[in-house]
Amino acid sequence: MTDREPPAQSTPSLEDVAARLEAVQAREAKENAGAERRKGKAEGIGIGMRIGIELLASVLVGGGLGVFLDDKLETSPIFLLAMVSLGFTAGVMNVLRITKRMDVANRIVHGDAAKDAKTRQPAPSADDDGE
Amino acid sequence: MEQFEIKPLFDLHIAGYDLSYTNSALFMTFAVIASALLFWSATRNRTMVPSRWQSIAEVLYEFNATMVKDNIGKQGLKYLPFVFTLFLFVLLGNVLGLMPYGFTITSHIVVTATLAVAIWVGATVIGFSRHGFHYFSLLLPKGTPPAVAPFLVLIETMSYFIRPVSLSLRLFANMMAGHVLLKVLAGFIISLGLLFGWIPLIAVFGITLLEIMVALIQAYVFALLTCIYLNDAVNLH
């Protein structure tokens, strides 16, 4: 005599199990979506903080380099002007790159699962989507 | 301002260099000890169902591991210890500075610039050792028309040299600005007296919360950018 025989009463029916599983999965998905949104928000703040300084730093580096070269070569103010504009261009390009990267991340968060799997596999790099 | 002053705790001069142990160095030591203590207590008796300390450590670890995997890929995981250490050091440096009588090590550009330059030089060395002279192709994005190529190389070179500056400036400026703002508003509390002093008090309360968030986010951004720079060095294009 074994206890293996399925006790008819306590075994939940397949439909019951399926319904409960579905409910749990739906709840899980909802919670995950919330977490995903929160993560997106934190990343957004992070990106916002990056962009401002990126522009400032690029002009500062350009200006510093320009003044240094002018001082050495006594060509004031040619290099200063050239380097500041070059630096600003580089800064704007960096900002464009950051926002492009953010676009890719947004596409991944908001659906497009198939595309997601394709773009996500090789680690998305900062420069790949540059140009 | 008084809170940013570097005070030597005991003097130490070696071969003409001032190597005194300062309050800045003291708080760096605190940050290292705190992170070591956190992970020591978290991993002391590990359980399947984590204790509070263990789950803190696990959340931090997984956060960093995901960040490294997302940004560099699987082969980037060997840089996880470096990124994780950096994240913890910056995070604890920021947070310990918010404690009363604390000193914010990251509010000095010397500290952040040293970290940033070390990261930048390290990433460059990794890039050249992995790709050799091919690493220079980082300066010329794919599909550039030959007509604008020389100009674009100049810009890309510039933006490569901007990296350490923006990395250090961002952390330094954020921490410095937050603490100055707190100091100024706290000064208003005293000068406005009992009648109106509570208005800046509320502001200080709010900004303190904001500063805690900034401390976390800046540590995250610092580690994230390290990942991005390492990704360029590891994966190139």
What DSSP string describes A47-69? HHHHHHHHHHHHHHHHHHHHHHH
Which of A46, A87, A89 has its CB closest to that of B221? A46
Q: How many CB atoms lie within 10 A of CB A24?
A: 10
Q: Quote the pLDDT of residue A63.
A: 92
Lowest mean pLDDT of A5-9, A111-115, B96-100, B107-111, name the range.
Answer: A111-115
Return the ∠ at Cα B167 (arms to B164 and B172), rounded to 5°: 120
More confident call, A51 vs A9: A51
Q: How many CB atoms lie within 10 A of CB B125?
A: 11
Element at B53 (helix H, strand E): helix B52-72
Residues 146-185 of B with CB under 8 A from A: 154-156, 158-159, 161-162, 165-166, 169-170, 173-174
Q: Yes or no: say if B95 and B14 are a contact pair by the CB < 8 Å rule.
A: no
CB contact under 8 A, A46 and B224: yes
Comparing alpha-carbon positions, the chain A residue that sits nearest to B165 is A57
- Residues from chain A that touch B138, judged by Cβ atoms under 8 A, are 127
Residues in chain A, how many?
131
Element at B9 (helix H, strand E): strand B8-10
**How far apart, in Å, do the first and last CA atoms of chain B sit?**
46
Task: Work out how many domains chain B is built from and give that number.
Answer: 1
Which of A61, A86, A131 has its CB closest to that of B141? A131
Task: Give B119-135 as a 3 state SS string.
Answer: HHHHHHHHHHHHHHHHH
Compute the nearest-CA separation of B138 from chain A (Å).
8
The per-residue pLDDT for range A63-88, each reduced to its tens digit, is 999 999 999 998 878 889 999 999 99
The per-residue pLDDT for range A57-69, each reduced to its tens digit, is 999 999 999 999 9
Residues in chain B, how many?
237
Q: What is the pLDDT along chain B (237 residues), one digit of tens a residue?
A: 778 888 888 877 787 787 888 889 999 999 999 999 999 988 887 787 888 888 899 999 999 999 999 889 888 899 999 999 999 999 999 999 998 888 999 999 999 999 999 999 999 999 999 998 888 888 887 778 888 888 889 888 988 999 999 999 999 999 999 999 999 999 999 898 888 888 999 999 999 999 999 999 999 999 999 999 999 899 886
- Residues from chain A that touch B169, judged by Cβ atoms under 8 A, are 53, 56-57, 60
**Nearest by Cα to A77 from A87, A67, A85:** A67
CB contact under 8 A, A131 and B221: no
CB contact under 8 A, A123 and B141: no
Domain ranges, ordered by start, for chain A: 14-118
Determine contact: A60 vs chain B, CB below 8 A.
Answer: yes
Which residue in A43, A51, A53, A84 has the most chain B C-beta atoms within 10 A of its own C-beta, making it the best mutation to test that interface?
A53
